[in-house]
Each structure stands twice: as C-alpha cells, then as structure tokens.
C-alpha cells in the first residue's frame, strides 16, 4: 500500500478567529483514511483541543498519492 496525502476535516475547530491554528483541518500522510483520522484524533485528544463533538470526523479527502500513476490524479513526492 502506498502513502497518500489526506485532508482530514473535523466537525469543529475550523475557524482561526480565536487562535492562529485551525486544528479542525489537517493534512496527513498515511496509508489509508482510517489511519489518517486516527492520527488527527490522537493529537487532538492528547492535547485536549476542542470538545469531543468538535473532534468527530466530518470528511476525509484524498489529495495525492505516492505513485507514478495515482488514481486521484495527483502524485505525492516527499523525502
């Protein structure tokens, strides 16, 4: 399984009005969408950010894939 870049959007914490960081939207490199959300949720839980309902997943989008011919249309390169 190849690495993929996902955009994970939670139900809350999507505004920068109260802070300089939008914790409810994150970009994650992971093998699958479940692992991507798990990583974001773990970070939010460990740092006690937002309320439990804010940490729930709203959506996950596949942005790019580490492959010469990615199905999503965008190649991911990182070192």
Tokens for 64? 């790019």
- Does the CA dihedral 50-57-45-39 come out positive or negative? negative
Sheet holding 25-30, edge to edge: 25-30, 4-10, 57-65
3-state DSSP: the chain helix, strand, coil percent, rounded to 5? 25, 30, 50
**pLDDT value at residue 18:** 61
Consecutive 10-residue runs of the chain (79 residues): their mean pLDDT?
94 73 90 97 93 92 94 91
How buried is 35 (Cβ within 10 angstroms: 0-12 exposed, 13-18 middle, 19+ buried)?
A: middle
Domains of the chain and CATH, by start: 4-65 (3.10.20)
**pLDDT value at residue 20:** 73
């Amino acid at each position: 399984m190849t690495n993929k870049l996902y955009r994970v959007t939670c139900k809350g914490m999507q505004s920068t009005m109260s802070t300089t960081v939008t914790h409810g939207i994150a970009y994650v490199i992971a093998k699958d969408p479940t692992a991507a959300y798990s990583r974001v949720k773990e970070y939010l839980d460990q740092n006690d950010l937002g309320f439990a309902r804010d940490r729930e997943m709203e959506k996950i989008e596949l942005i790019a894939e580490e492959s010469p011919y990615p199905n999503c249309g965008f190649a991911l390169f990182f070192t």
